[in-house]
Amino acid sequence: MTDLTRLSAASLAAKIASKEVSAVEVTTAHLDRIAAVDPRVHAFLHVDREGALDAARKVDAGEITGPLAGVPIAVKDVVTTKGVPTTAASKILEGWKPPYDATIVERLKKAGMPILGKTNMDEFAMGSSTEYSAYGATNNPWDLGRIPGGSGGGSAAALAAYEAPLAIGTDTGGSIRQPGAVTGTVGAKPTYGGTSRYGLIAFSSSLDTPGPCGRTVEDTALLHSVMAGYDPRDSTSINQPVPDVIKAAQLGKNGDLSGVKLGVVKEFAGDGSEPGVLSAFKDSLEALVKLGAEIVEVSCPNFQYALPAYYLIAPSEASSNLARFDGVRYGLREGDNGSHSLEEVMSLTREGGFGPEVKRRIIIGTYALSSGYYDAYYGQAQKVRTLITRDFQSAFEQVDVLVSPTTPFVAFPFGSRTSDPYQMYLADLFTIPTNLYGGPAISVPCGLSEGLPVGFQIMAPTMADDRMYRVAAALESAVGSFTPPEL
């Protein structure tokens, strides 16, 4: 019998719909796979066996149908799931069971997708390696001694390890795309406002974007269609039809890109990247040209300021968003032994509940927003944000999409970038501009460098998510997929 965990979401959905296999069988196969390999991968923080099987049974009973009905999914632990622990990989939320579902989780449930469990991540989505998870890092299925990327390393690793056919991620500065790149999977950051943030534990509200992760572009597009769309509970949600990403992915799969102009970001095509990353990127460009695409070099002079602007805006918003974790209404409380005042208990709780990277960012953000520093830091970063948006807008007058490597380096060994926090930040060098602009971007596997996956990033104008899916599917058809060694 076929190993169900090796199939794409699209083929699983077809087999379930035709009753060739049951949703319970598919779900069980993935739960068994998790039981077998997750002790080594550690992609999951919590597995909800009963919840997943209950949902699968509903599909088998014919209560729910739809394009992904019965296809199980893993959800990043930063998204609330009613009655199922949600911790954002932080000690401060250990054991917290939300009394409500995030909008995107509601949609997954409505679509009949069994939720296998919650995936590991950097604490509060702050990091690029999952090394900042309070519950231990996730190991990259390509090499268990290397990072799976971050913050959504758990979701990406779960896909690469065949523990789930689909996963939900969130992308604030690259947390979907960079893990996708270093695990050889696909990760898309939709247009900001295209997917609801209601129920996504906020890191940086003006940047956070939930998005789909899959092993193929088509699977990712299918999930994108299920999760995206207007949500009146999110004030920044865009009340417009979701771009037809499924059709675009199918179109791209045909391998014809005639008339499509790809803009190579000059500033991101040079020495910032490892040689192996750069050569895989260049090979991919050639492959795309063969499919009929035209390559245009474009300059985005302000992109060089994206990283500094991001590391002011994101921590500033985070310092405020994370203020609610004070040990009063939920989560951890420390020091409440009768001898401390509330102020002290709050400080002890936050000190004990947050990890070092979260504390660093809270302190930086508090600094950047302080009177006296606001104009020079937060205010200036917001102006830079305007300039980056203008760079994108003028680039998209010349080209259909922009392309770059997803991240400058392949999966690095654990511990190699934790001593100097800024070295870790460089992992997001190429992904951050898109977040500041608000447009969509996707990472698709494009080759290997010394046996490790390299990601190719395609960035599109806001609400033109379909464009990037077309190019991504074309590239996928040209370079094929990349399978990690057996675990």
Judged by CB under 8 A, the chain residues 460 through 479 that form the site for another protein are: 462
Sign, Cα dihedral of 368, 305, 288, 482 = negative
Cis peptide upstream of residue 11 (ω within 30 degrees of 0):
no
DSSP structure string for 102-123: -HHHHHHHHTT--EEEEE--SG
Q: Is there binding between residue 242 and another protein (CB under 8 A)?
A: no
308 near another protein, judged by CB under 8 A: yes
38-67 residues in contact with another protein (CB under 8 A) are none
Q: Which residues pair with 264 in a beta bridge?
A: 297, 403
Which one, 70 or 98, has the nearer CB to another protein?
Answer: 98
Region near another protein per CB under 8 A, out of 93-101, 159-167, 251-259, 441-449: 93-101
Tokens standing for residue 248: 């675009």
Piece in contact with another protein (CB under 8 A), picked from 8-16, 253-261, 434-442, 465-473: 434-442
Q: What is the DSSP string of 48-82?
A: -HHHHHHHHHHHHTTS--STTTT--EEEETTB-BT
| Residue 100 contacts another protein per CB under 8 A | yes
- Say which residues have a Cβ less than 8 Å from residue 35's Cβ, sequence separation at least 6: none
Query: Could you please report the per-residue DSSP string of 143-168?
Result: BTTB---SSSHHHHHHHHTTS-SEEE
Is position 199 an interface residue for another protein (rule: CB under 8 A)?
yes
Catalytic residue among 90, 129, 155, 175: 175
Residue from the set 42, 177, 253, 385 that interacts with another protein by CB under 8 A: 385
Least separation, in Å, of the C-beta of 164 and another protein? 22
CB 340 within 8 A of CB 348: yes
Nearest to 236 by CA among 195, 190, 188, 175: 195
Find the shortest distance in angstroms from Cβ 318 to another protein.
11
151 belongs to the catalytic site: yes
Q: Which is nearer to another protein, 76 or 253 (CB)?
A: 76
Whether 189 is catalytic is no
Whole-number minimum distance, CB 223 to another protein, in Å? 20
Find the helix or strand (DSSP H, E) in which 453 lies.
strand 452-459
Which range binds another protein by CB under 8 A, 39-47, 95-103, 180-188, 266-274? Answer: 95-103
311 binds another protein (CB under 8 A): yes
**296-315 burial: b if 16+ Cβ within 10 Å, else e:** eebebebbebbbebbbbbbb
Of 121, 165, 155, 151, the C-alpha closest to 31 is 165
| Closer residue to another protein in complex, CB, 203/409 | 203
Among residues 142, 162, 192, 303, the one that binds another protein under rule CB under 8 A: 192
Of 8, 353, 359, which is closest to residue 166 (Cα–Cα)? 8
Task: Give the separation between CA 368 and CA 144, rounded to whole angstroms.
Answer: 38
Whole-number Å distance between alpha carbons of 319 and 243: 34
| Residue 96, token pair as written in the block | 């917290």
Interface with another protein, residue 432, by CB under 8 A:
no
The reply to whether 339 belongs to the active site is no
Shortest distance, position 42 Cβ to another protein, whole Å: 23
Helix 217-227 × helix 103-110 angle, to 10°? 110
Catalytic residue among 8, 151, 155, 319: 151
Contact positions with another protein (CB under 8 A) in 325-364: 325-333, 336, 338, 340-348, 350-351, 354, 356, 359-360, 362-364
Least CB distance from residue 347 to another protein, whole Å?
A: 4
Shortest spacing between CB 1 and another protein, in angstroms:
40
The one among 216, 302, 404, 443 contacting another protein by CB under 8 A = 302
76, 91, 189, 253: which one is catalytic? 76
Residues 252-271 that bind another protein (CB under 8 A): none
User: Minimum Å distance from CB 385 to another protein?
Assistant: 4
**Candidate list 6, 40, 110, 383; residue touching another protein; CB under 8 A:** 383
Judged by CB under 8 A, does residue 312 bind another protein?
yes
DSSP three-state, residue 381: helix
Comparing CA positions, the residue from 70, 58, 55, 56 lying closest to residue 17 is 70
We find the least distance from the C-beta atom of residue 310 to another protein, in angstroms, to be 9
Q: Does 323 contact another protein by CB under 8 A? A: yes
Residue closer to another protein, measured from CB, 80 or 178: 80
Report which residue type is found at 115.
Answer: I
CA torsion angle for 376, 379, 382, 383 (degrees, to 10)? -70
| Site membership for another protein, residue 289 (CB under 8 A) | no
Closest CB to another protein among 286 and 336?
Answer: 336
Question: Shortest Cβ distance from residue 49 to another protein (Å)?
Answer: 23
Please tell me the distance from the alpha carbon of residue 190 to that of residue 216, in angstroms, as a whole number.
16
Q: Count of residues binding another protein (CB under 8 A)?
A: 98
200 contacts another protein (rule: CB under 8 A): yes
Written as one letter, the residue type at 279 is: S
Footprint (CB under 8 A) of another protein, residues 403-422: 420-422
Site string for another protein, 362-381 (x = CB under 8 A): xxx-xx-xxx--x-xxxxxx
Residues involved in catalysis? 76, 151, 175
